[in-house]
Chains A and B, each alone.
Chain A
Amino acid sequence: MEILVAILAGFLIASATYLLLSKSILRMIVGTGLLSHGAHLLILTMGGLKKGAVPLVNKEGLPVSDPLPQALILTAIVISFGVTALFLVVAYRGYQELGTDNMDELKGTEGNE
């Protein structure tokens, strides 16, 4: 099971890398989304995917799955959600002000004269 999920995470990160290297800012933002998906899947996998009950207090005393990676993912998801929201707004403002969605046209020559 871990191998399958690891391959999936690798596929997500490969797609993210491809999208991040493209010219359009929107594609880059989609790439950052996929990258954080890959990273979050990886935390879950690295905590172990053994069978166990939901990590809630259970009266039967069944073995539960590791709750720590789940807490880490929850934190990481919220953080990447906030950063993505900011990134989208900055990209929108950038499109309004700079009038382009193409990274090639965002070159700076300050201090180069």
Chain B
Amino acid sequence: MNNLVILPIAIPLLTAIILIFFARKIVVQRYISAISMLLNVIVAFMLIQQVYENGVQTLNVGNWPAPFGITLVSDMLSALLVLTTTIVGFAVTLYSFQSIGEDREKYYYYTFVQFLLAGVIGAFTTGDIFNLFVFFEIMLMASYVLLVLGGSKIQLRETIKYLTVNVVSSAFFVIGIAFLYSIVGTLNMAHISQRIAELTEFPGILTVIAVLFLIVFGLKGAIFPLYFWLPGSYYAPPVPVMALFGALLTKVGVYSIIRTFTLFFYHDKGYTHDILLVLAIITVLIGVVGSIAYWDIKKIIIYNIITAIGVILYGVSIATDTGFSGSLYYLIHDMVIKAALFLLIGIIIKVTGTANLKQFSGLIKTYPVLAWTYFIAAISLAGIPPFSGFFGKLLVIQSGFEANEFIGAVIILITSLITLYSVMKIFIYGFWGEAKGYNSEQKISYKALLFPAILLVAVSVIYGFGTEVVYPYISNAAETLTNPDIYIEAVLKE
């Protein structure tokens, strides 16, 4: 029992409610949301320290004993993801001050950002499968509104598509929960895991439900062949919203896949994990093909999201200690660096007025700080040592070779090169060369926009250089994944 577990959900939720009352007072809104995000970062650090010292933290809401009430569970994986979410949320909030525009700010923009964060953090923390559905819907509802807020033509068009896809996937989630409930008769995740383990022969129906859950979370997390909605929908909203979506939304789907496939469906690995393996590899390939095909800087980064999801799920499908450590390391790195990259290309678009890479070049002469920050972010993404993308990918590939899955590991190695090419293309064509496509005489002030981006890149660099410091936390999280009994015992405490 520990109330610290619920604080990261409660803080954004209360902030969102308070912000509703200050809709027309933009400065007050900015102060309140920035302070509450900062507070949440501190709380998340405290939570991680507590989980590290005392093991998995649980909170039975309303003092009902474990399988009967809703339990909130913070193991190391969810605590780390909560911390990353709050850091990304803080940086994006700061970035929004300068870039989102008064019209959107007056119409409850910060409220919806806070609701989105409450949904994401809740989904990371909950220990109840139906509660996970509810937090998914909180997150999705906020994301629909953030996507359509402003009401331009492209936003309306893409929101209709995004809404349709997510309504269908939510209905399938409900159906999946109904099937699972009819077999195990419980909704508490730890209790479900225990009941499934008691069904001595892993029956075929559970494999069917596992695949149904894979389809549902794959739709949220954009894995092949369910990624089709992502490139269009993420193209439409303004840059800070895009950064939030790219960093957080798909990762919630990935987290849910990790959670269900390590806690529920780990008995019939030969079937379910092989599907995951093949889908992960094809997802990586689809992502890199998209990222080299386009000359639009937003599209390039959007397809890099899909690549990263493939890499993370490849490590998960190997399901060894090394694989999980690598995946988690890469997951956290990717959330930070994708947000940073979106914020940086947002600055580029503000400076040049276009997202088309063929229309501008030579930015480095007028904007050297922006250029070198982007350069560091780009090579971190590709996984050049000692930056943050390196160690996660190293562990993922190592686990692939250890499990004799050579094809996948080699594909991930080669696609790292293509990823590097796709982001370096922006650097070479956009920053080098003749100064054209923008006003090089008059320097546009972008300090306030650059600060949150530099903050995120700095976090990522520290994360890369401080591998030794971070590693015990990551391996602690991986230990809970390979050994679900730790999770079950912490929740059900016989």
Q: Do A and B come from one complex?
A: yes
Q: CB within 8 Å of B: which residues of A?
A: 20, 25, 28, 32, 35-36, 38-40, 42-43, 45-48, 68-69, 72, 75-76, 79-80, 82-83, 86-87, 90-91, 93-94, 97-98, 103, 106, 108, 110-113
B:127-153 near A, CB below 8 Å: 130, 133-134, 137, 140-141, 144-145, 148, 151, 153
Q: B160 is contacted by which of A35, A38, A45, A94 (Cβ under 8 Å)? A: A94
CB distance from B66 to the nearest CB of A (A): 15
Q: Which residues of A contact B148 (CB under 8 A)?
A: 90, 93
Give A94 to B187 CA distance when docked, in angstroms. Answer: 39
Q: Which residues of B contact A68 (CB under 8 A)?
A: 181, 187
Question: From DSSP, what is the main secondary structure of chain B's interface residues?
Answer: helix
Q: Which residues of B contact A69 (CB under 8 A)?
A: 178, 181
Cβ–Cβ contact B160 & A32, under 8 A: no
Give A95 to B114 CA distance when docked, in angstroms. Answer: 30
Give A13 to B408 CA distance when docked, in angstroms. Answer: 37
Cβ–Cβ contact A20 & B154, under 8 A: no
List the 10 shortest-distance A-B pairs measured between CB atoms, nearest first: A111-B296, A46-B182, A111-B299, A46-B178, A39-B174, A43-B178, A94-B156, A39-B171, A35-B171, A32-B167
Cβ–Cβ contact B181 & A47, under 8 A: yes
Q: Which residues of A contact B159 (CB under 8 A)?
A: 90, 94
5 A-B interface contacts by CB (under 8 A): A46-B182, A83-B170, A87-B167, A97-B156, A98-B153
Cβ–Cβ contact A86 & B144, under 8 A: yes
Cβ–Cβ contact B168 & A32, under 8 A: yes
Cβ–Cβ contact A110 & B144, under 8 A: no
Q: A43 is contacted by which of B144, B157, B174 (Cβ under 8 Å)? A: B174
Q: For the complex, is B52 an interface residue (Cβ under 8 Å from A)?
A: no
Give A2 to B155 CA distance when docked, in angstroms. Answer: 43
Q: Whose C-beta in chain B lies nearest to the C-beta of A75?
A: B134
Q: For the complex, is B158 an interface residue (Cβ under 8 Å from A)?
A: yes
Q: From known contacts A111-B235, A111-B298, infer whether A90 and B160 are also in contact, taking CB-CB under 8 Å.
A: yes
Q: Which residues of A contact B355 (CB under 8 A)?
A: 111
Give A106 to B182 CA distance when docked, in angstroms. Answer: 41
A46-B182, A80-B171 known; 18 new pairs, CB 8 Å cut-off, are A32-B171, A36-B174, A39-B171, A42-B174, A46-B181, A72-B177, A83-B137, A83-B167, A87-B160, A93-B151, A94-B156, A94-B157, A97-B151, A97-B153, A106-B161, A108-B232, A111-B355, A113-B295
Q: For the complex, is B63 an interface residue (Cβ under 8 Å from A)?
A: no
Q: Which residues of B contact A79 (CB under 8 A)?
A: 134, 137, 170
Give A36 to B298 CA distance when docked, in angstroms. Answer: 34
Q: From known contacts A35-B171, A39-B178, infer whether A108 and B235 are also in contact, taking CB-CB under 8 Å.
A: yes
Give A75 to B167 CA distance when docked, in angstroms. Answer: 15
B:298-316 near A, CB below 8 Å: 298-299
Q: B141 is contacted by which of A40, A86, A103 (Cβ under 8 Å)? A: A86
Q: CB within 8 Å of A: which residues of B?
A: 130, 133-134, 137, 140-141, 144-145, 148, 151, 153-154, 156-161, 163-164, 167-168, 170-172, 174-175, 177-179, 181-182, 187, 232, 235, 294-296, 298-299, 355-356
Give A20 to B163 CA distance when docked, in angstroms. Answer: 12
CB distance from B14 to the nearest CB of A (A): 21
Q: From known contacts A46-B181, A90-B159, A90-B163, infer whether A39 and B235 are also in contact, taking CB-CB under 8 Å.
A: no
Give A108 to B158 CA distance when docked, in angstroms. Answer: 9
Give A93 to B150 CA distance when docked, in angstroms. Answer: 12
Give A90 to B150 CA distance when docked, in angstroms. Answer: 12
Q: Which residues of B contact A75 (CB under 8 A)?
A: 130, 134
Give A102 to B299 CA distance when docked, in angstroms. Answer: 26
Cβ–Cβ contact A40 & B157, under 8 A: no
Q: B175 is contacted by which of A42, A48, A86, A97 (Cβ under 8 Å)? A: A42
Q: Whose C-beta in chain B lies nearest to the C-beta of A34?
A: B171
Q: Which residues of A contact B172 (CB under 8 A)?
A: 39
Give A90 to B159 CA distance when docked, in angstroms. Answer: 8
Cβ–Cβ contact A110 & B235, under 8 A: yes
Cβ–Cβ contact A20 & B158, under 8 A: no
Cβ–Cβ contact A46 & B179, under 8 A: yes
Give A28 to B162 CA distance when docked, in angstroms. Answer: 13
Q: Which residues of A contact B134 (CB under 8 A)?
A: 75, 79
Cβ–Cβ contact B164 & A28, under 8 A: yes
CB distance from B123 to the nearest CB of A (A): 14
Cβ–Cβ contact A106 & B175, under 8 A: no
Q: Whose C-beta in chain A lies nearest to the C-beta of B356?
A: A113
CB distance from A45 to the nearest CB of B (A): 8
Q: Which residues of A contact B296 (CB under 8 A)?
A: 110-113
Give A39 to B171 CA distance when docked, in angstroms. Answer: 6
CB distance from B197 to the nearest CB of A (A): 21
Cβ–Cβ contact B171 & A36, under 8 A: yes
Q: Whose C-beta in chain A lies nearest to the C-beta of B355?
A: A111
Q: A90 is contacted by which of B156, B171, B232, B356 (Cβ under 8 Å)? A: B156
Cβ–Cβ contact B160 & A47, under 8 A: no
Q: Which residues of B contact A113 (CB under 8 A)?
A: 295-296, 356
